[in-house]
Amino acid sequence: MTVNINTHENIQNGQSRLENRGRLLVKCPDGPGIVAALSKFLFEQGANIIESSQYTSDPEGGTFFIRLEFDCAELAEKRSKMEEDFEALAKKFEMEYRFAYGSDRKKTAIFVSKETHCLLELLWEWQSGDLQTDIAFVAGNHEEARGMVESLGIPFYHIPANKDIRKQVEEEQSRLIEKYEVDVIVLARYMQILTPEFVEKYPNKIINIHHSFLPAFIGARPYERAHNRGVKLIGATSHYVTNDLDEGPIIEQDIERVDHRDHVADLKKIGRLIERSVLARAVKWHLEDRVIVHENKTIVFQ
């Protein structure tokens, strides 16, 4: 991969559009007046709502979710006071909430093994300016990805890994995560199981791609098992990593039809295309603060 001469320009243009952009994500018991109160609050702060998405699990006693994106002049100077003023409203409606700001560009670390198709998709999205993040570094337990990563000016760290040295591997990974102040970790077909201690350090901040339409064929070698079962649909699932293997909150899934003529190699080839797009969408939605985790599910405002 060669460096796109427009990469930095694409990134800078995307970032400049977000300087006065804010996002507010709310989860609370449902009831009347929530949307009106939120709209009134942002209006009084001088903010213009440019996108609003909401959902309730049940209008009578359910949980209400909303994502508001707004534009506000001189937001950098206003944000601290805005958050302070919001506390009273949040207390009144028993809100769990989070403000996010376009000017706070998230930093991403990508973990990869030998297969690089998901990594390449993320790098392409980043180069084009469609993935609003700074890729802090890529860590691989093999060397295959080094050239394509370093050609873009992104640091690459080769950290060999196996189950016998898992603890010391994760200590090195954690050191890099702290050094680069990483916000989200993407497992781009990183074929290693993470320890419970590592997962617990980064709740809802580790995004995985599983080469199966979960909950079907959890674990290893799903294409082989899918072929043996004679499935007619294969898919991929991107989810947050928890300590229940492949059972974390699902962010995105997709499928493709196959038939009896497709062998394991064919399923893998088709599957790679699905994995690339599913992971890229999941990461993009996370970076744009479109995901609210509720219990072991997600509310995704696309």
Nearest to 66 by CA among 92, 33, 88: 33
**CA-to-CA dists, residue 267 to 36, 199, 216, 222, 274, angstroms:** 50, 30, 15, 10, 11
Q: Give the up-direction half-sphere exposure of residue 195: CA atoms within 13 A in the CB hemisphere.
A: 16
As a whole number of angstroms, the distance between CA 101 and CA 88 comes to 21
- Does residue 246 have an active-site annotation? yes
Q: Using CA atoms, how far apart are residues 296 and 302, in angstroms rounded to an integer?
A: 19
* b/e sequence 196-224, b meaning 16+ C-beta within 10 Å: eebbebbebbbbbbbbbbbeebeeeebbe
Catalytic-labelled residue, pool 104, 130, 134, 246: 246
Encoded amino acid at 174, one letter: S
Q: Which residues are tagged catalytic?
A: 246
